[in-house]
């Protein structure tokens, strides 16, 4: 009898942090794939997606966030060039000045019309969906 090896997607949490002073926080990645990204990372075993989002926000931006809502789930097999991931994206609020830490070189606030390049992963799509949601109230359609 042969044993089949299971290959499952890896769960992650990403956080669109809205700053009280305006703009959203993006981080410049220290590791491959390089570029700017929404703060986030892998959900640890025994950790909820919500707890992972709060932890990753603090680790990468030095900000304490308040989760406002779950925005959407992105699961395209090619969304991360390293492996298949599924991310739960949250919208959060924070005050203060972001400061890059952990695996983020920098953390800065951006508005829709001044987003940096390149943007890593599928985060350009996520951000486009988010800004559309903020303008129209319409979430992505599965």
User: Residue 85 — φ and ψ, nearest 5°?
Assistant: -125, 155
Nearest to 90 by CA among 133, 121, 32, 45: 133
State which residues form the domain around 84: 10-136
What is the per-residue pLDDT for 19?
A: 98
User: What tokens appear for 6 in the block?
Assistant: 């299971």
What is d(CA 19, CA 23) in angstroms, rounded to the nearest whole number? 6
In a domain, 132, yes or no: yes
pLDDT of residue 3: 57
List Cβ neighbours of 44 (8 Å cut-off, separation of 6 or more): 52
Is position 5 within any domain?
Answer: no
Residue 5 has what pLDDT?
80
d(CA 38, CA 29): 10
Q: Give the total number of structural domains in the chain.
A: 1
We report the CATH number of the domain holding residue 129 as 3.90.79.10
The verdict on residue 3 lying in a domain is: no
Whether residue 31 lies inside any domain: the answer is yes
Contact criterion met (CB below 8 Å) for 53 and 14: yes
Establish if 141 belongs to a structural domain. no
pTM for the model: 0.94
In a domain, residue 142? The reply is: no
Task: Name the stretches of the chain with pLDDT < 70.
Answer: 1-4
Q: Is residue 2 part of a domain?
A: no
Q: Is residue 1 part of a domain?
A: no
């Amino acid at each position: 009898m042969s044993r089949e090896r299971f290959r499952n997607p890896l769960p992650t949490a990403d956080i669109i942090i809205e700053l009280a002073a305006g703009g959203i926080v993006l981080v410049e990645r220290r590791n491959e794939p390089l570029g700017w990204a929404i703060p986030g990372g892998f959900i640890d075993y025994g950790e909820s997606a919500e707890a992972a989002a709060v932890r990753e926000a603090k680790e990468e931006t030095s900000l304490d966030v308040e989760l406002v809502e779950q925005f959407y789930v992105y699961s395209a097999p090619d969304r991360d060039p390293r492996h298949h991931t599924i991310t739960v994206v949250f919208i959060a609020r924070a005050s203060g000045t972001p400061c890059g830490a952990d695996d983020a070189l920098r953390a800065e606030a951006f508005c829709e019309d001044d987003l940096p390049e390149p943007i890593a992963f599928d985060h350009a799509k996520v951000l486009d969906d988010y800004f559309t949601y903020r303008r129209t109230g319409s979430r992505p359609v599965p």
